[in-house]
Protein backbone atom coordinates (compact mmCIF):
# COMPACT_ATOMS: atom_id res chain seq x y z
CA UNK A 1 0.00 0.00 0.00
CA UNK A 2 1.29 3.42 -0.89
CA UNK A 3 0.54 6.05 1.73
CA UNK A 4 2.46 9.23 1.05
CA UNK A 5 3.97 11.47 2.26
CA UNK A 6 5.57 8.85 4.49
CA UNK A 7 5.92 8.98 8.25
CA UNK A 8 9.45 10.33 8.11
CA UNK A 9 8.31 13.21 5.93
CA UNK A 10 5.30 13.95 8.17
CA UNK A 11 7.39 13.95 11.32
CA UNK A 12 10.07 16.13 9.72
CA UNK A 13 7.54 18.74 8.60
CA UNK A 14 5.69 18.69 11.92
CA UNK A 15 8.93 19.16 13.81
CA UNK A 16 9.94 22.06 11.60
CA UNK A 17 6.59 23.83 12.16
CA UNK A 18 7.02 23.36 15.89
CA UNK A 19 10.55 24.81 15.85
CA UNK A 20 10.00 27.61 13.31
CA UNK A 21 6.48 28.84 14.10
CA UNK A 22 5.63 27.87 17.66
CA UNK A 23 8.82 27.78 19.73
CA UNK A 24 9.74 31.45 19.06
CA UNK A 25 6.51 32.55 20.77
CA UNK A 26 7.00 30.35 23.80
CA UNK A 27 8.94 30.97 26.98
CA UNK A 28 9.85 29.25 30.22
CA UNK A 29 8.32 25.85 30.96
CA UNK A 30 6.28 25.79 27.73
CA UNK A 31 9.35 26.43 25.60
CA UNK A 32 11.20 23.70 27.46
CA UNK A 33 8.36 21.27 26.80
CA UNK A 34 8.18 22.20 23.10
CA UNK A 35 11.92 21.61 22.72
CA UNK A 36 11.55 18.23 24.41
CA UNK A 37 8.84 17.35 21.89
CA UNK A 38 11.11 18.43 19.01
CA UNK A 39 13.89 16.30 20.49
CA UNK A 40 11.64 13.23 20.73
CA UNK A 41 10.44 13.75 17.13
CA UNK A 42 14.04 14.08 15.96
CA UNK A 43 14.84 10.71 17.51
CA UNK A 44 11.86 9.10 15.83
CA UNK A 45 12.90 10.57 12.46
CA UNK A 46 16.49 9.35 12.83
CA UNK A 47 15.27 5.90 13.91
CA UNK A 48 13.27 5.64 10.67
CA UNK A 49 16.33 6.78 8.68
CA UNK A 50 18.61 4.29 10.41
CA UNK A 51 16.15 1.50 9.66
CA UNK A 52 16.27 2.42 5.98
CA UNK A 53 20.05 2.05 6.20
CA UNK A 54 19.85 -1.48 7.57
CA UNK A 55 19.83 -0.93 11.32
CA UNK A 56 19.56 -2.46 13.84
CA UNK A 57 20.24 -5.63 11.83
CA UNK A 58 23.80 -4.61 10.88
CA UNK A 59 24.78 -3.98 14.49
CA UNK A 60 23.04 -7.20 15.55
CA UNK A 61 25.07 -9.13 12.95
CA UNK A 62 28.37 -7.85 14.38
CA UNK A 63 27.23 -8.89 17.81
CA UNK A 64 26.20 -12.35 16.56
CA UNK A 65 29.61 -12.84 14.96
CA UNK A 66 31.32 -11.87 18.18
CA UNK A 67 29.17 -14.26 20.23
CA UNK A 68 29.78 -17.11 17.78
CA UNK A 69 33.52 -16.44 17.89
CA UNK A 70 33.42 -16.76 21.66
CA UNK A 71 31.22 -19.86 21.69
CA UNK A 72 28.38 -18.05 23.32
CA UNK A 73 24.80 -19.08 22.48
CA UNK A 74 22.93 -16.67 20.25
CA UNK A 75 19.24 -16.40 19.51
CA UNK A 76 17.32 -13.74 17.58
CA UNK A 77 17.02 -10.52 19.64
CA UNK A 78 18.81 -12.18 22.55
CA UNK A 79 22.34 -11.14 21.67
CA UNK A 80 22.59 -8.25 24.10
CA UNK A 81 21.10 -10.38 26.87
CA UNK A 82 23.71 -13.08 26.21
CA UNK A 83 26.56 -10.57 26.10
CA UNK A 84 25.41 -8.86 29.32
CA UNK A 85 25.13 -12.22 31.08
CA UNK A 86 28.55 -13.38 29.88
CA UNK A 87 30.10 -10.16 31.17
CA UNK A 88 28.32 -10.49 34.51
CA UNK A 89 29.57 -14.08 34.78
CA UNK A 90 33.10 -12.96 33.92
CA UNK A 91 33.27 -15.24 30.92
CA UNK A 92 34.79 -12.50 28.74
CA UNK A 93 38.05 -10.58 28.98
CA UNK A 94 37.18 -6.91 29.46
CA UNK A 95 40.46 -5.86 27.82
CA UNK A 96 39.68 -7.73 24.59
CA UNK A 97 39.77 -5.08 21.78
CA UNK A 98 37.18 -7.06 19.84
CA UNK A 99 34.77 -6.90 22.80
CA UNK A 100 35.33 -3.18 23.21
CA UNK A 101 34.77 -2.65 19.51
CA UNK A 102 31.42 -4.51 19.63
CA UNK A 103 30.34 -2.50 22.68
CA UNK A 104 31.29 0.72 20.94
CA UNK A 105 29.47 -0.28 17.76
CA UNK A 106 26.23 -0.87 19.65
CA UNK A 107 26.56 2.38 21.57
CA UNK A 108 27.34 4.41 18.47
CA UNK A 109 24.35 2.92 16.69
CA UNK A 110 22.11 4.11 19.54
CA UNK A 111 23.68 7.54 19.58
CA UNK A 112 23.16 7.96 15.83
CA UNK A 113 19.47 7.90 16.78
CA UNK A 114 19.40 9.45 20.25
CA UNK A 115 22.02 12.17 19.94
CA UNK A 116 24.34 12.16 16.90
CA UNK A 117 25.95 15.39 18.10
CA UNK A 118 27.42 13.46 21.02
CA UNK A 119 29.59 11.30 18.74
CA UNK A 120 33.17 12.51 18.55
CA UNK B 1 -1.80 28.91 48.10
CA UNK B 2 -2.55 31.75 50.52
CA UNK B 3 -3.96 29.31 53.09
CA UNK B 4 -0.68 27.37 52.84
CA UNK B 5 1.29 30.61 53.21
CA UNK B 6 -0.66 31.39 56.40
CA UNK B 7 -0.03 27.87 57.70
CA UNK B 8 3.72 28.19 57.20
CA UNK B 9 3.72 31.77 58.49
CA UNK B 10 1.92 30.74 61.69
CA UNK B 11 4.41 27.91 62.15
CA UNK B 12 7.34 30.32 61.83
CA UNK B 13 5.71 32.71 64.31
CA UNK B 14 5.40 29.93 66.89
CA UNK B 15 8.92 28.61 66.33
CA UNK B 16 10.66 31.98 66.31
CA UNK B 17 8.70 33.42 69.21
CA UNK B 18 7.56 36.36 67.08
CA UNK B 19 4.43 38.30 68.07
CA UNK B 20 3.09 38.21 64.54
CA UNK B 21 4.09 37.96 60.89
CA UNK B 22 3.04 39.52 57.63
CA UNK B 23 3.42 37.46 54.42
CA UNK B 24 5.27 39.60 51.88
CA UNK B 25 5.80 36.95 49.23
CA UNK B 26 4.95 33.27 48.81
CA UNK B 27 5.51 31.12 45.71
CA UNK B 28 6.35 27.62 44.62
CA UNK B 29 9.97 27.33 43.49
CA UNK B 30 10.96 25.36 40.42
CA UNK B 31 12.89 22.11 40.56
CA UNK B 32 12.52 19.02 42.65
CA UNK B 33 10.35 16.11 41.53
CA UNK B 34 10.75 14.53 44.94
CA UNK B 35 9.85 17.50 47.06
CA UNK B 36 8.02 20.80 46.82
CA UNK B 37 9.96 23.96 47.64
CA UNK B 38 8.27 27.21 48.50
CA UNK B 39 9.79 30.66 48.83
CA UNK B 40 8.34 32.50 51.84
CA UNK B 41 9.21 36.08 52.71
CA UNK B 42 7.87 37.35 56.03
CA UNK B 43 8.00 40.53 58.03
CA UNK B 44 8.35 39.21 61.57
CA UNK B 45 7.45 41.28 64.60
CA UNK B 46 9.82 40.37 67.46
CA UNK B 47 11.13 36.91 68.29
CA UNK B 48 14.50 35.36 67.38
CA UNK B 49 14.53 36.75 63.86
CA UNK B 50 12.77 40.09 63.75
CA UNK B 51 12.27 42.02 60.52
CA UNK B 52 12.15 40.93 56.93
CA UNK B 53 13.18 37.29 56.54
CA UNK B 54 13.44 35.10 53.47
CA UNK B 55 12.82 31.39 53.97
CA UNK B 56 12.48 28.26 51.90
CA UNK B 57 9.92 25.68 53.02
CA UNK B 58 10.67 22.18 51.76
CA UNK B 59 8.10 19.43 51.99
CA UNK B 60 7.52 16.00 50.47
CA UNK B 61 5.87 16.00 47.07
CA UNK B 62 3.01 13.55 46.44
CA UNK B 63 5.35 11.14 44.58
CA UNK B 64 8.46 10.34 46.58
CA UNK B 65 11.46 8.29 45.49
CA UNK B 66 12.42 5.47 47.80
CA UNK B 67 16.14 6.01 47.37
CA UNK B 68 16.19 9.51 48.78
CA UNK B 69 16.15 10.69 52.38
CA UNK B 70 12.93 11.72 54.13
CA UNK B 71 12.51 15.37 55.07
CA UNK B 72 13.42 14.78 58.76
CA UNK B 73 16.53 12.85 57.71
CA UNK B 74 17.49 15.53 55.23
CA UNK B 75 17.02 18.17 57.95
CA UNK B 76 19.45 16.31 60.22
CA UNK B 77 22.01 15.95 57.42
CA UNK B 78 21.69 19.67 56.75
CA UNK B 79 22.23 20.39 60.45
CA UNK B 80 25.38 18.26 60.43
CA UNK B 81 26.72 19.93 57.28
CA UNK B 82 25.84 23.43 58.44
CA UNK B 83 27.42 22.67 61.80
CA UNK B 84 30.62 21.61 60.03
CA UNK B 85 30.81 25.02 58.36
CA UNK B 86 29.44 24.09 54.94
CA UNK B 87 27.77 26.99 53.13
CA UNK B 88 24.34 25.38 53.13
CA UNK B 89 20.93 26.91 53.83
CA UNK B 90 20.61 27.24 57.61
CA UNK B 91 18.19 24.54 58.77
CA UNK B 92 15.77 26.32 61.11
CA UNK B 93 12.71 24.33 62.10
CA UNK B 94 11.43 20.86 61.31
CA UNK B 95 7.71 20.09 61.50
CA UNK B 96 7.09 16.37 61.88
CA UNK B 97 3.40 16.87 62.56
CA UNK B 98 1.80 16.15 59.18
CA UNK B 99 -1.51 17.55 60.48
CA UNK B 100 -0.23 21.11 60.20
CA UNK B 101 0.26 21.42 56.42
CA UNK B 102 -0.77 17.95 55.31
CA UNK B 103 2.85 16.86 54.94
CA UNK B 104 6.07 16.85 56.91
CA UNK B 105 8.18 19.92 56.11
CA UNK B 106 11.05 22.04 57.31
CA UNK B 107 12.03 25.67 57.06
CA UNK B 108 15.50 26.92 56.11
CA UNK B 109 17.09 30.21 55.23
CA UNK B 110 16.95 31.29 51.61
CA UNK B 111 20.19 31.96 49.72
CA UNK B 112 20.66 34.56 47.02
CA UNK B 113 21.79 33.92 43.44
CA UNK B 114 21.07 31.22 40.90
CA UNK B 115 21.78 27.51 40.58
CA UNK B 116 21.32 27.56 36.78
CA UNK B 117 24.14 25.54 35.16
CA UNK B 118 23.79 27.39 31.84
CA UNK B 119 24.27 30.80 33.42
CA UNK B 120 27.29 29.55 35.29
CA UNK B 121 29.00 27.56 32.57
CA UNK B 122 28.24 29.88 29.65
CA UNK B 123 28.32 33.01 31.79
CA UNK B 124 30.91 35.75 31.62
CA UNK B 125 32.97 34.84 34.68
CA UNK B 126 36.66 35.73 34.35
CA UNK B 127 39.35 33.08 34.76
CA UNK B 128 40.09 34.44 38.25
CA UNK B 129 36.42 34.25 39.22
CA UNK B 130 36.20 30.69 37.94
CA UNK B 131 39.27 29.70 39.93
CA UNK B 132 37.84 31.38 43.01
CA UNK B 133 34.58 29.49 42.64
CA UNK B 134 36.28 26.12 42.07
CA UNK B 135 38.42 26.69 45.15
CA UNK B 136 35.26 27.40 47.12
CA UNK B 137 33.79 24.09 45.93
CA UNK B 138 36.91 22.26 47.14
CA UNK B 139 36.75 24.01 50.50
CA UNK B 140 33.04 23.21 50.94
CA UNK B 141 33.63 19.52 50.28
CA UNK B 142 36.64 19.47 52.61
CA UNK B 143 34.49 20.89 55.42
CA UNK B 144 31.62 18.49 54.71
CA UNK B 145 33.98 15.52 54.82
CA UNK B 146 35.06 16.36 58.35
CA UNK B 147 31.71 14.86 59.43
CA UNK B 148 32.56 11.25 60.22
CA UNK B 149 30.63 8.27 61.54
CA UNK B 150 29.40 7.35 64.04
CA UNK B 151 27.02 10.23 64.73
CA UNK B 152 23.89 9.68 66.78
CA UNK B 153 21.90 12.26 64.83
CA UNK B 154 22.76 10.49 61.55
CA UNK B 155 22.21 6.92 62.78
CA UNK B 156 19.69 6.39 59.93
CA UNK B 157 22.53 6.50 57.37
CA UNK B 158 23.92 3.04 56.71
CA UNK B 159 27.65 2.45 56.59
CA UNK B 160 28.96 1.06 53.28
CA UNK B 161 29.05 -2.73 53.21
CA UNK B 162 32.49 -4.11 54.06
CA UNK B 163 33.58 -0.55 54.75
CA UNK B 164 34.29 -0.31 51.03
CA UNK B 165 32.08 2.32 49.38
CA UNK B 166 33.31 1.53 45.85
CA UNK B 167 32.66 -2.19 45.97
CA UNK B 168 29.35 -1.74 47.76
CA UNK B 169 28.29 0.65 44.97
CA UNK B 170 29.29 -1.94 42.35
CA UNK B 171 27.16 -4.57 44.10
CA UNK B 172 24.25 -2.13 44.40
CA UNK B 173 24.32 -1.19 40.71
CA UNK B 174 24.44 -4.84 39.68
CA UNK B 175 21.29 -5.36 41.76
CA UNK B 176 19.69 -2.35 40.07
CA UNK B 177 20.48 -3.80 36.63
CA UNK B 178 18.87 -7.09 37.69
CA UNK B 179 15.77 -5.23 38.84
CA UNK B 180 15.56 -3.15 35.67
CA UNK B 181 15.70 -6.39 33.71
CA UNK B 182 17.08 -4.85 30.52
CA UNK B 183 20.49 -5.95 29.20
CA UNK B 184 23.20 -3.29 29.31
CA UNK B 185 26.49 -4.90 28.30
CA UNK B 186 28.44 -1.63 28.47
CA UNK B 187 27.36 -1.04 32.05
CA UNK B 188 28.20 -4.66 32.97
CA UNK B 189 31.64 -4.19 31.40
CA UNK B 190 32.16 -0.92 33.27
CA UNK B 191 31.06 -2.49 36.57
CA UNK B 192 33.63 -5.27 36.07
CA UNK B 193 36.28 -2.63 35.47
CA UNK B 194 35.20 -0.74 38.59
CA UNK B 195 35.37 -3.94 40.62
CA UNK B 196 38.85 -4.77 39.30
CA UNK B 197 40.26 -1.27 39.73
CA UNK B 198 38.74 -0.17 43.04
CA UNK B 199 41.25 1.99 44.93
CA UNK B 200 41.95 1.55 48.61
CA UNK B 201 38.98 3.18 50.33
CA UNK B 202 39.61 6.59 51.84
CA UNK B 203 38.14 7.51 55.20
CA UNK B 204 34.36 7.13 55.34
CA UNK B 205 32.78 10.57 55.60
CA UNK B 206 29.47 12.32 55.15
CA UNK B 207 29.10 12.81 51.40
CA UNK B 208 26.53 14.93 49.63
CA UNK B 209 26.30 12.45 46.71
CA UNK B 210 24.74 14.96 44.33
CA UNK B 211 27.34 17.73 44.60
CA UNK B 212 27.45 19.12 41.07
CA UNK B 213 26.88 22.25 39.03
CA UNK B 214 23.14 22.89 39.23
CA UNK B 215 22.96 21.98 42.91
CA UNK B 216 24.78 24.96 44.36
CA UNK B 217 23.73 28.60 44.27
CA UNK B 218 26.08 31.30 43.04
CA UNK B 219 25.67 35.06 43.36
CA UNK B 220 28.22 36.78 41.12
CA UNK B 221 31.25 34.59 41.73
CA UNK B 222 30.36 33.77 45.33
CA UNK B 223 28.94 30.42 46.29
CA UNK B 224 25.93 31.14 48.52
CA UNK B 225 24.51 27.69 49.26
CA UNK B 226 24.96 23.99 48.56
CA UNK B 227 21.49 22.57 47.91
CA UNK B 228 19.67 19.26 47.53
CA UNK B 229 20.89 17.02 50.31
CA UNK B 230 18.43 14.16 49.82
CA UNK B 231 21.03 11.66 48.55
CA UNK B 232 23.58 12.23 51.33
CA UNK B 233 25.34 9.07 52.53
CA UNK B 234 28.42 7.78 54.32
CA UNK B 235 30.90 7.21 51.53
CA UNK B 236 34.40 7.80 50.22
CA UNK B 237 35.10 11.56 49.89
CA UNK B 238 36.32 10.89 46.37
CA UNK B 239 32.75 10.01 45.41
CA UNK B 240 31.75 13.67 45.83
CA UNK B 241 34.88 14.90 44.02
CA UNK B 242 34.30 12.45 41.16
CA UNK B 243 30.60 13.30 40.82
CA UNK B 244 31.45 17.01 40.63
CA UNK B 245 34.01 16.36 37.87
CA UNK B 246 31.98 13.77 35.92
CA UNK B 247 31.69 14.51 32.20
CA UNK B 248 27.91 14.43 32.42
CA UNK B 249 27.83 17.52 34.62
CA UNK B 250 29.87 19.98 32.57
CA UNK B 251 26.91 21.41 30.65
CA UNK B 252 28.84 21.99 27.46
CA UNK B 253 31.99 23.28 29.19
CA UNK B 254 33.75 19.98 28.49
CA UNK B 255 37.31 21.22 28.85
CA UNK B 256 36.61 22.53 32.37
CA UNK B 257 36.69 19.36 34.40
CA UNK B 258 35.10 20.74 37.56
CA UNK B 259 31.44 21.04 36.68
CA UNK B 260 32.15 22.99 33.48
CA UNK B 261 33.55 25.79 35.65
CA UNK B 262 37.26 25.22 36.19
CA UNK B 263 40.28 23.00 36.75
CA UNK B 264 40.68 19.91 38.87
CA UNK B 265 44.11 21.01 40.13
CA UNK B 266 42.53 24.07 41.77
CA UNK B 267 39.79 21.92 43.29
CA UNK B 268 42.19 19.41 44.80
CA UNK B 269 44.64 22.10 45.97
CA UNK B 270 41.91 23.91 47.84
CA UNK B 271 40.56 20.63 49.23
CA UNK B 272 44.05 19.85 50.54
CA UNK B 273 44.51 23.29 52.09
CA UNK B 274 41.29 23.01 54.08
CA UNK B 275 41.30 19.29 54.92
CA UNK B 276 45.01 18.51 55.03
CA UNK B 277 44.21 15.46 52.91
CA UNK B 278 46.20 14.79 49.76
CA UNK B 279 43.73 13.29 47.32
CA UNK B 280 45.08 10.95 44.66
CA UNK B 281 43.82 12.31 41.31
CA UNK B 282 43.58 8.71 40.07
CA UNK B 283 41.02 7.98 42.79
CA UNK B 284 38.95 10.95 41.62
CA UNK B 285 39.16 9.68 38.04
CA UNK B 286 38.00 6.27 39.23
CA UNK B 287 34.97 7.85 40.91
CA UNK B 288 34.24 9.83 37.73
CA UNK B 289 33.79 6.48 36.01
CA UNK B 290 31.58 5.37 38.90
CA UNK B 291 29.61 8.61 38.46
CA UNK B 292 28.89 7.80 34.80
CA UNK B 293 27.58 4.38 35.83
CA UNK B 294 25.51 5.85 38.64
CA UNK B 295 23.95 8.49 36.39
CA UNK B 296 23.16 5.76 33.85
CA UNK B 297 21.42 3.80 36.63
CA UNK B 298 19.38 6.82 37.66
CA UNK B 299 18.42 7.48 34.02
CA UNK B 300 17.35 3.85 33.55
CA UNK B 301 15.25 4.00 36.70
CA UNK B 302 13.63 7.25 35.58
CA UNK B 303 12.80 5.73 32.20
CA UNK B 304 11.26 2.74 34.00
CA UNK B 305 8.99 5.05 35.96
CA UNK B 306 7.63 6.30 32.65
CA UNK B 307 7.48 2.91 30.91
CA UNK B 308 5.77 1.15 33.81
CA UNK B 309 2.99 3.75 33.74
CA UNK B 310 3.83 4.86 37.27
CA UNK B 311 4.51 8.38 36.00
CA UNK B 312 3.97 9.17 32.32
CA UNK B 313 6.48 11.87 31.43
CA UNK B 314 8.26 12.92 28.25
CA UNK B 315 11.16 14.17 30.34
CA UNK B 316 11.61 10.78 32.03
CA UNK B 317 11.27 9.01 28.68
CA UNK B 318 13.96 11.19 27.09
CA UNK B 319 16.23 10.66 30.09
CA UNK B 320 16.10 6.95 29.28
CA UNK B 321 17.48 7.70 25.82
CA UNK B 322 20.43 9.52 27.40
CA UNK B 323 21.93 6.29 28.75
CA UNK B 324 23.85 5.74 25.50
CA UNK B 325 25.71 9.00 26.21
CA UNK B 326 26.96 7.74 29.56
CA UNK B 327 27.88 4.42 27.92
CA UNK B 328 29.79 6.22 25.18
CA UNK B 329 31.68 8.29 27.76
CA UNK B 330 32.53 5.09 29.66
CA UNK B 331 33.88 3.46 26.50
CA UNK B 332 36.15 6.47 25.94
CA UNK B 333 37.10 7.35 29.48
CA UNK B 334 38.14 3.90 30.73
CA UNK B 335 40.75 3.41 27.93
CA UNK B 336 41.99 6.97 28.55
CA UNK B 337 42.58 6.12 32.20
CA UNK B 338 44.31 2.87 31.26
CA UNK B 339 46.61 4.72 28.89
CA UNK B 340 47.45 7.23 31.58
CA UNK B 341 48.52 4.54 34.04
Find the mean pLDDT for residues B128-136: 96
Q: Does A84 touch chain B (CB under 8 A)?
A: yes
The reply to whether A33 falls in a domain is: yes
Residues A68 and A33 in one domain: no
Whether residue A79 sits in one domain with residue A65: yes
Calculate how close chain B gets to A1, using CA atoms only, in Å.
32
Nearest to B328 among A84, A100, A111 (CB): A111
Closest residue of chain A to B191, computed from CA coordinates: A88
Residue A28 lies in a domain: yes
Are residues A91 and A74 part of one domain? yes
Whether the pLDDT of residue A101 is over 90: the answer is yes
Please state the separation of Cα B335 from the chain's center in Å. Answer: 28
Is B183's CB within 8 Å of A115's CB? no
Given A36, A52, A68, which residue is the final one in a domain? A52
Look at residue A120 and tell me if it is in a domain: no
Same domain, A63 and A109: yes
Residue A119 lies in a domain: no
Q: What is the pLDDT averaged over residues B164-176?
A: 97
Nearest-5° angle of CA B338, CA B339, CA B341? Answer: 65
Measured between CA atoms, the residue of chain B closest to residue A78 is: B183
Which ipTM score applies to this complex? Answer: 0.96
Residues A43 and A69 in one domain: no
State whether A13 and A36 are in the same domain: yes
Q: Do B184 and A84 count as a contact with CB atoms less than 8 A apart?
A: yes
Find the helix or strand (DSSP H, E) in which A55 lies: none
The pTM of the full predicted model, rounded to 2 decimals, is 0.95
Q: Do A83 and B185 touch (CB under 8 A)?
A: yes
A110 within domain boundaries? yes
A38 CB near a chain B CB, below 8 Å? no
Tell me, yes or no, whether A41 lies in a domain.
Answer: yes
B102-122 residue pLDDT tens: 999 999 999 999 999 988 888
Q: Of all residues in chain B, what percent carry a pLDDT higher than 70?
A: 96
Of B183, B325, B335, Cβ closest to residue A115: B325
**Partner A contacted by B314 (CB < 8 A):** yes
**Portion 190-219 of B in contact with A at CB < 8 A:** 192-193, 196
Do residues A45 and A86 share a domain?
no
* A contact residues 18-37, partner B, Cβ 8 Å cutoff: 33, 36-37
Domains and CATH numbers, chain B: 2-109 (3.30.200.20), 117-340 (3.90.1200.10)
What are B181-190's pLDDT values in tens digits? Answer: 999 999 999 9
Query: Looking at the structure, do residues A61 and A44 belong to the same domain, yes or no?
Result: no
The confidence band for A120, taking pLDDT boundaries of 50, 70 and 90, is confident
Q: Which domain holds residue A85?
A: 57-114
Q: How far is the alpha carbon of B130 from chain A, nearest alpha carbon, in Å?
A: 26
Mark whether A44 and A67 lie in a shared domain.
no
B303-338 pLDDT per residue, tens? 999 999 988 999 999 999 999 999 999 999 999 999
**Chain B nearest C-alpha distance from A109 (Å):** 9
Q: pLDDT at position B221, please? A: 87
Q: In this model, does residue B65 exceed pLDDT 60?
A: no
**Mean pLDDT, chain A, integer:** 95
What is residue B87's predicted lDDT score, i.e. its pLDDT?
A: 98
Residues A42, A82 within the same domain: no
Average pLDDT for residues A73-79, to the nearest whole number?
Answer: 85
User: For B217-257, how does the pLDDT look when each residue is reduced to its tens digit (9 = 90+)?
Assistant: 999 889 999 999 999 999 999 999 999 999 999 999 999 99
B29 vs A contacts (CB less than 8 Å):
none
- A108 and A63 in a common domain: yes
Q: What is the mean pLDDT of chain B?
A: 94
Top-confidence residue, B31 or B68? B68
Q: What is the pLDDT of residue B31?
A: 65
Judge: B328–A103 Cβ closer than 8 Å, yes or no. no
Contact flag A118-B325 (C-beta cutoff 8 Å): yes
What's the confidence (pLDDT) of residue B341? Answer: 66
Of the partner residues A36, A104, A120, the one whose CB lies closest to the CB of residue B318: A36
Confidence of residue B294 (pLDDT cuts 50, 70, 90): very high
Q: What is the mean pLDDT of residues A87-104?
A: 97
* pLDDT surpasses 80 at B153: yes
Residue A1 lies in a domain: no
The answer to whether position A24 is within a domain reads yes
Same domain, A63 and A48: no
Specify the number of domains making up chain A.
2
Amino acid sequence: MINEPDSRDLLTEARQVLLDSLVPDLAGEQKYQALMIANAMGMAIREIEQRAQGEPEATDRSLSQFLAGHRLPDAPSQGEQTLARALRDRRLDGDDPELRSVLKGMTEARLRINNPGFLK
Amino acid sequence: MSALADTFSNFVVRQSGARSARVIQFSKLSGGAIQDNFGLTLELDGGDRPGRQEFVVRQDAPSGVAESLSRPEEFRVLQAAFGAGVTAPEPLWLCEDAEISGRIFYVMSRASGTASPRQLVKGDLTEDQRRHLVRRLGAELARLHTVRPPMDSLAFLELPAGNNPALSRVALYRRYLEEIGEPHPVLEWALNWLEDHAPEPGPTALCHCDFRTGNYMVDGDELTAVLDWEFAAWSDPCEDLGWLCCRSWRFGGDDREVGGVGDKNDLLASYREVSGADIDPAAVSYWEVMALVRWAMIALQQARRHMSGEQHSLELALTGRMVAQMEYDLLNQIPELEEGQ
